[in-house]
């Protein structure tokens, strides 16, 4: 018997997988050819509430396990993700569109993230503090799991983003209700199955899809839920942040960015070009820390414009399942329309498209790799995250000028620079306002390092030792000697 092309879709609520739910259904589509992949059941209000109640029951089971036992289970889940990486990557590419090699890397990195968080779960240390009052036996500061968490993840990294939230929440002893993007639910389903097969109690891990606004507002309002964690747009981040603030619930938001890249006069131009092309067009630019604004020293600007454009033009567009593909489709039709709006607005304001600028003449939601020059600061592309395969290039003369422009937007997630000078590298890492700065490198997303934004790009971090702490509460305990 041959394997089915795509798993049959289900939600994990009340400790079991369900294939029919009260909120109707939605077709999941392959963005490379617009064909239907499967039918996703959508949770109605009762099922969303049941997911929250189940997570409350699951929390009581999971938090009572020894930290070491949780560690063993979560490590096992990471191993299962590695064992199943080929299948998970295939499903990821089908529903999201990125090249299969990128999906494979995403799944193995996701397993590494889960591993690291499992390890850190054993190190949720408290503190003992010398008492200042006579008759006090001990004064301790404890870190305890925050409680059931509502997690919301988008479609651009259907494995990595759920892995960050599930790995951290579970390692800290929390239970979860996760809502992956309705465009890419199957990858999350397969991840949830790894955790369940590894031994996470089914009540502690719930997965719902539905109307995003209804799911998030219902979960955040539910008494059982103690924290919400979102990766998504700034607009949705502000909305969920406000809903959490109303109830004084904890909130972590990994939101959008508009990453600058400063290519200094002394940069290794070969390295800067090669790595910038790879980083810009990875996942067709649908990456929150994707480089967008390239400020290039005037001495190199003409060469950069020519070579970066030639590199972008040479990228092979195609379905992610084709091994020759370097850049896949956008996730849905409205992202293509959005790219068209960015380009039209830039051209209207006097900018030039050095390459691309239009949808590709083929079936599926493809947009050509695009490079824009001479875009005034008032254009959409200079101010708003395109979240697609569009780069803006601009010359600068003095480094101070480039730093001012890099810091000019209300977003501050990733930022990058290329220089051979250590003093400049230190100066830029100090002066650039961003949650993550990469000098001569774009790889700022590492399991061991905190990932998060400043300004409107977010609140809190994920991954690294810091990531886990956001799933805990602090408790001050004083024990006096009985009389
Ligand atoms: P969208 O706002 O419709 O959806 C973005 C994501 O947010 C989806 O996963 C969706 O399910 C979720 N979402 C939307 N409303 C929600 C709500 N009320 N509660 C909970 N989740 C909700 O738009 P889109 O066209 O899919 O993407 C638009 C923009 O979103 C992009 O331009 C980009 O800036 C941003 N985005 C950011 C990230 C990131 O990694 N930070 C990822 C995906 C999208």
Give 139-173 pLDDT, tens digit per residue.
Answer: 999 999 999 999 999 999 999 999 999 999 999 99
Q: Which of 154, 331, 412 to mutate to test the pocket of ligand 1 (most atoms within 8 A of CB)?
A: 154
Q: What is the mean pLDDT of residues 118-143?
A: 95
pLDDT score, position 274: 98
Instruction: Find the 203 Cα to ligand 1 centroid distance in Å.
Output: 27
Active-site hit among 47, 106, 254, 385: 254
Verdict on whether the full-model pTM lies above 0.95: yes
Task: Look at ligand 1, atom 18, and give the residue with the nearest C-alpha.
Answer: 213
Helix axes 45-62, 212-221, angle to 10 degrees: 50
Q: Which of 31, 150, 160, 236 to mutate to test the pocket of ligand 1 (most atoms within 8 A of CB)?
A: 236
| Integer Cα distance of 364 and 438 in angstroms | 34
User: Do residue 245 and residue 301 come from a single domain?
Assistant: no
Query: Residue 482 domain-assigned?
Result: no
pLDDT score, position 3: 65
Mean pLDDT computed over every residue of the chain: 97
User: Do residue 267 and residue 351 come from a single domain?
Assistant: yes
Query: Residue 1 domain-assigned?
Result: no
CATH number at residue 309: 3.40.309.10
pLDDT score, position 56: 98
User: Do residue 290 and residue 433 come from a single domain?
Assistant: yes
Query: Residue 306 domain-assigned?
Result: yes
User: Do residue 241 and residue 292 come from a single domain?
Assistant: no
Instruction: Tell which atom from ligand 1 comes closest to the C-alpha of 331.
Output: 26
User: Do residue 389 and residue 467 come from a single domain?
Assistant: no
User: Do residue 303 and residue 393 come from a single domain?
Assistant: yes
Instruction: Please indicate whether residue 288 is annotated as part of the active site.
Output: yes
pLDDT score, position 483: 80
Ligand 1 pocket at CB < 6 A: 152, 154-156, 181-182, 212-213, 216, 231-233, 236, 239-240, 254-256, 288, 334-335, 385, 387
User: Do residue 263 and residue 224 come from a single domain?
Assistant: no
pLDDT tens, 422-443?
999 999 999 999 999 999 999 9
90 within 8 A of 242, measured Cβ to Cβ: no
pLDDT score, position 2: 60
pLDDT tens, 261-311?
999 999 999 999 999 999 999 999 999 999 999 999 999 999 999 999 999
User: Do residue 248 and residue 332 come from a single domain?
Assistant: no
pLDDT tens, 317-329?
999 999 999 999 9
Alpha helices (H) in 398-456, listed in sequence order: 399-406, 422-431
User: Do residue 68 and residue 92 come from a single domain?
Assistant: yes
Instruction: Find the 230 Cα to ligand 1 centroid distance in Å.
Output: 10
What secondary structure letter does DSSP report for 432? S
Query: Residue 299 domain-assigned?
Result: yes
Residue 316 in this model has a pLDDT that exceeds 80:
yes
Query: Residue 76 domain-assigned?
Result: yes
Active-site hit among 288, 355, 368, 462: 288
Residue 303, token pair as written in the block: 């060469």
Instruction: Find the 161 Cα to ligand 1 centroid distance in Å.
Output: 13
pLDDT tens, 55-97?
999 999 999 999 999 999 999 999 999 999 999 999 999 999 9
User: Do residue 471 and residue 417 come from a single domain?
Assistant: no
Query: Residue 72 domain-assigned?
Result: yes
CATH number at residue 163: 3.40.605.10
Phi-psi region of 352 (alpha: psi -120 to 50; beta: other; left: phi over 0): beta
pLDDT score, position 4: 80
Query: Residue 414 domain-assigned?
Result: yes
pLDDT tens, 240-249?
999 999 999 9
Backbone phi, psi, residue 224, to 5°: -65, -30
Query: Residue 58 domain-assigned?
Result: yes
Q: How many domains does the chain have?
A: 2
| Integer Cα distance of 275 and 270 in angstroms | 9
Residue 117, domain extent:
11-255+457-476
User: Do residue 263 and residue 167 come from a single domain?
Assistant: no
Residue 389, token pair as written in the block: 């395969």
Q: Which of 233, 292, 329, 381 to mutate to test the pocket of ligand 1 (most atoms within 8 A of CB)?
A: 233
Residue 187, token pair as written in the block: 């990858």
User: Do residue 346 and residue 273 come from a single domain?
Assistant: yes
Residue 186 in this model has a pLDDT that exceeds 80:
yes
Q: Which residues, other chains included, contact 213 with Cβ-Cβ below 8 Å and sequence gap of 6+?
A: none
Residues across the chain? 483
Q: Which parts of 305-366 are beta strand (E)?
A: 352-355
Task: Look at ligand 1, atom 32, and give the residue with the nearest C-alpha.
Answer: 387
């Amino acid at each position: 018997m041959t394997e089915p092309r795509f798993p049959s879709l289900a939600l994990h609520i009340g400790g079991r997988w369900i294939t029919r739910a009260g909120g109707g259904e939605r077709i999941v589509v392959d963005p490379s050819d617009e064909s239907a992949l499967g039918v996703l059941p959508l949770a109605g209000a009762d099922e969303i509430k049941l997911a929250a109640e189940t997570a409350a029951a699951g929390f009581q089971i999971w938090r009572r396990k020894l930290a070491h036992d949780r560690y063993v289970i979560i490590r096992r889940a990471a191993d299962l993700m590695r064992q199943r990486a080929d299948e998970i990557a295939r499903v990821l590419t089908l529903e999201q569109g990125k090249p299969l090699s990128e999906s494979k890397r995403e799944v193995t990195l996701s397993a590494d993230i889960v591993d690291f968080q499992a390890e850190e779960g054993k190190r949720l240390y408290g503190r003992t503090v010398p008492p200042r009052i006579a008759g006090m036996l001990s004064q301790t500061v404890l870190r305890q799991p925050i409680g059931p968490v509502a997690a919301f993840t988008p479609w651009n990294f259907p494995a990595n983003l759920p892995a960050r939230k599930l790995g951290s929440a579970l390692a800290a002893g929390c239970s979860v209700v996760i809502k992956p993007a309705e465009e890419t639910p199957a990858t999350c389903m397969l991840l949830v199955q790894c955790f369940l097969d590894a031994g996470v109690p089914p009540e502690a891990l719930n997965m719902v899809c539905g109307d995003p606004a209804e799911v998030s507002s219902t979960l955040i309002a539910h008494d059982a839920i103690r924290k919400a964690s979102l990766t998504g747009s700034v607009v949705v981040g502000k909305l969920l942040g406000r809903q959490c603030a109303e109830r004084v619930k904890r909130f972590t938001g990994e939101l959008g960015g508009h990453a600058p890249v400063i290519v200094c006069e002394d940069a290794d131009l070969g390295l800067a070009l090669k790595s910038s092309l790879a980083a810009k067009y990875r996942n067709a630019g649908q990456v929150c820390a994707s480089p967008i604004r390239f400020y290039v020293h005037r001495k190199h600007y003409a060469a950069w414009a020519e070579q970066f454009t030639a590199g972008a033009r040479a990228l092979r567009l195609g379905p992610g399942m084709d091994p020759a593909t370097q850049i896949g489709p956008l996730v849905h039709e409205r992202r293509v329309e959005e790219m068209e709006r960015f380009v039209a607005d830039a051209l209207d304001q006097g900018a030039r498209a050095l390459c691309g600028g239009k949808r590709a003449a083929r079936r599926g939601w493809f947009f050509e790799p695009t490079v824009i020059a001479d875009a005034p600061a008032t254009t959409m592309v200079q101010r708003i995250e395109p979240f697609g395969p569009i780069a803006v290039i601009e010359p600068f003369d003095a480094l101070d000028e480039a730093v001012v422009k890099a810091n000019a937007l209300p977003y501050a997630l990733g930022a990058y620079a290329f220089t051979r000078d250590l003093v400049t590298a230190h100066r830029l890492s100090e002066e650039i306002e961003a949650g993550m700065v990469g000098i001569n490198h774009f790889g700022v997303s590492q399991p061991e390092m905190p990932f998060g934004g400043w300004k409107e790009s977010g609140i809190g971090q994920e991954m690294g030792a810091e990531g886990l702490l956001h799933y805990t509460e602090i408790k001050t305990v004083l024990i006096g000697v009985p009389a």
